[in-house]
Each structure stands twice: as C-alpha cells, then as structure tokens.
C-alpha cells in the first residue's frame, strides 16, 4: 500500500479521526480551520504509514513560509510529513550524492504520492501541482485532467534560477474556496470557462517553451519582455475566472507605475501573494522606491529565487561553529524551537539566503 496511488481519502479512517480533532486553541474561523486541517493531515499519514513498532517520537515542524498566502505552505508541510514518515519506516533509499537518477526519481515519486494524500486532507480537491513542485524542486510542467489517474508532470531539472520579488498581500484566503468559485463559474458558463482555461494552458505552454529553449537567458531584455507579456495575459485570464482581489490588483498597479517589471497572482488567488519578474538591470533607486511604497501600504515582500532544490534531508544535523573539525554541536529539538522567526530558523538549518550546511542532501534526478 505504501507505493500505491491514492486519489481519495478512506472514509472509515477519516471518520475515526474526527473525535481526535475536536480541540480548542482559543481560535476561530480560518485559523482554527488551518490548525484542524494540519492535524488531520498529520494523523492521517501517521496512521497510514506508521507502525505499532515505531518507538515513541516527538514530531516538531516549523514553517518559514507565510500560511494562506498562495505560496504552497501546505504542500511544503505535506512533503515534509511524507518524507519523514517514509524515512522512519525505511521505505526510502537515500538521499546520497552518488544515487542513480532512476532510483532518486522513484523515491521522489513515492514522497510525492503521499504528500498528495496530505493535500487531500487539507484542501479536499487539490490539483497536485504544489506538492509536485515542492517535491521535485526547480520547476514542473504539470497537467491533470483525470483525477483517477496520475497527473502528467514533467520535471524541468535544468530550469535556470530566476530572481523574483515576492509580495504577500496579507489577505487571508482559502484554496478550497477559490477552487469552488471556479467550479461554480464552470457549471454556470461551461463553454466560456473552458475557453479561458484552455487559454491559460496555451500561455503556460508558451512560457515553458521559452525557459526550456537552449541558451535561455533570463537577463536578456527581449526574453524578459516576452515572459512579462505572458504573465500579464495569464493574470488577466485569472481575473476573468474571478480569483483576483483588490490587494493583488494594487500590487500590479504599483509595479506597472514603477515600470520595473511584471506581476501576477500566484497560488489560488483571492488574496495571498503576487510574484514580480523584474526587468534586467533595474535601477536600484526605482526598485527601492517600489519597495518603500509596498512597505508603506503594509505588504510583506521577499527577495527570492525561482528554481531551487526540492525535498532534502539535513544529516548529520550539526553546527560546526565555523571550524573544519569533525562532529559538532547537534541541532536538537530545543535549538529548533528556540530559533527566532523565519530568519532564525533559516540561519540555524542553513537554507534560504543563508549559507548552506554541508549536511543537506537531495534526491536529484538531473544535473
């Protein structure tokens, strides 16, 4: 069962878990729903993949990704849960640097399938694209037409790293709500909605052809302009589906007024975040002015890179304290819990913009 494709939740297990999810954290509304779904996904995977022979464990999870911002935070958590439990039950090989690509690909698919089950617990009707990207890393050309079959996902292992400005509206939204909104539109106007979805598909195919072309250079002015045009078209089509939000449109207005790049909503929309592709050689003063305006209007911004690694394992998890000596101080649960904020966690484990720790290992298929 550990290697099977699961496309729907087991109703008996789902029902059996409900009494254990009736807890109160003095929260209400969307926050309570987020905690409920996170607990449900963990318990569902634990009972599906776990064993009574497991020793007693304390599972500690922290996310440096804003929750409910359209950045795939639930998918990242789902991939971590899937990987941890599969490793604990010894159902994964690696990761290690000399692992054959075929073997690494098999492990990635195994992780991804159970991460999708976790996404089912959280979103009920996920596309599967977020967990696929979080597992594989880089970029993925993804299509899913029939939910009874695996999606068509082609990992773009040589996808180049592209710098982005990521802007969080701080407007809470629900993926399930936005997906249901598009579903309702499709039932009311099936032919028109299908035309819009097909147009989005064509835009995606066009962008994928550009970034996959030999010699692709994200710093080329003409190439950036073409990608920017496609982003504008894509966003307009998503607006037609009704999944934008005034805060997202305000980000686009500010970026367009600054004249330094192109932006579009990301994730399910309805709030969440927008990504900004900057023009090559943007003047620092113009970028600073935009960032100041975003700060003034209480947007949250991150400078990030598109096309990073996927799921990995930090082992051994030690601090060398700036020396080359063997061993080192263990990154234990206490240190993990006491790390302050996003930057503290990233600095401790060595990810993000901070120096990479040598212990990180990834299931890599391509170069």
Catalytic positions, written as ranges: 130
Distance CA 197, CA 194 (A): 5
**Cβ contact 111:311 at 8 Å:** yes
Give the residue among 240, 122, 128 at the shortest CA–CA distance from 192: 240
Distance CA 273, CA 247 (A): 9
Separation in Å, CA 274 to CA 94, 166, 269, 310, 361 = 35, 6, 9, 21, 30
The distance from CA 362 to its chain's CA centroid, rounded to whole angstroms, is: 17
Would you call the peptide bond into 95 cis, given omega within 30 degrees of 0 as the criterion? Answer: yes
The distance from CA 93 to its chain's CA centroid, rounded to whole angstroms, is: 24
Question: Using alpha carbons only, what angle is made at residue 13 by residues 9 and 16, rounded to the nearest 5 degrees?
Answer: 140
SS3 of residue 165 by DSSP: strand
DSSP string, 36-64: HHHHHHHHHHHHHH--TTSPP--------
Residues with Cβ within 8 Å of residue 147, at least 6 apart in sequence: 7
Distance CA 335, CA 339 (A): 6
**Cβ contact 247:171 at 8 Å:** yes
Torsion angle (degrees, nearest 10) of CA 101, 107, 109, 112: -130
Positions of E strands within the chain: 139-143, 152-156, 162-168, 261-266, 273-278, 300-306, 312-314, 318-319, 329-330, 360-362
């Amino acid at each position: 069962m550990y290697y099977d494709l699961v496309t729907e939740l087991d109703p008996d297990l789902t029902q059996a878990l409900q009494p254990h999810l009736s807890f109160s954290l003095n929260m209400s509304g969307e926050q309570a729903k987020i905690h409920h779904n996170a607990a449900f996904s963990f318990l569902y995977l634990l009972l599906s993949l776990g064993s009574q022979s497991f020793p007693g464990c304390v599972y500690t999870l922290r996310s440096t990704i804003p929750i409910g911002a359209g950045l795939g935070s639930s998918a990242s958590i789902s991939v971590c849960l899937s990987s941890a439990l599969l490793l604990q039950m010894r159902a994964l090989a690696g990761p290690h640097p000399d692992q054959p690509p075929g073997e690494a690909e098999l492990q990635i698919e195994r992780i991804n399938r159970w991460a999708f089950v976790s996404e089912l617990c959280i979103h009920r009707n996920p596309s599967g694209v977020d967990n696929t990207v979080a597992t594989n890393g880089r970029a993925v050309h993804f299509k899913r037409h029939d939910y009874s079959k695996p999606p068509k996902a082609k990992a773009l292992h040589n996808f180049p790293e592209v710098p982005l400005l990521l802007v969080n509206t701080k407007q809470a939204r629900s993926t399930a709500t936005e997906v249901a909104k598009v579903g309702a539109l499709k039932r009311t106007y099936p032919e028109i909605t299908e035309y819009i979805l097909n147009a989005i598909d064509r835009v995606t195919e066009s962008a994928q052809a550009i970034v996959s072309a030999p010699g692709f250079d994200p710093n080329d002015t003409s190439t950036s302009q073409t990608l920017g045009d496609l982003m504008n078209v894509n966003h307009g089509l998503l607006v037609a589906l009704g999944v934008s939000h005034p805060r997202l449109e305000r980000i686009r207005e500010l970026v367009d007024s600054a004249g330094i790049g192109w932006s579009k909503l990301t994730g399910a929309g309805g709030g969440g975040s927008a990504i900004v592709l900057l023009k090559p050689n943007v003047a620092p003063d113009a970028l600073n002015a935009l960032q100041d305006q975003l700060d003034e209007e209480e947007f949250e911004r991150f400078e990030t890179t598109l096309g990073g690694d996927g799921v990995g394992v930090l082992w051994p998890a030690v601090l060398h304290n700036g020396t080359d000596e063997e061993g080192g101080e263990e990154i234990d649960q206490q240190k993990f819990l006491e790390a302050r904020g996003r930057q503290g966690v990233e600095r401790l484990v060595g990810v993000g913009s901070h120096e990479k720790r040598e212990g990180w290992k990834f299931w890599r298929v391509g170069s």
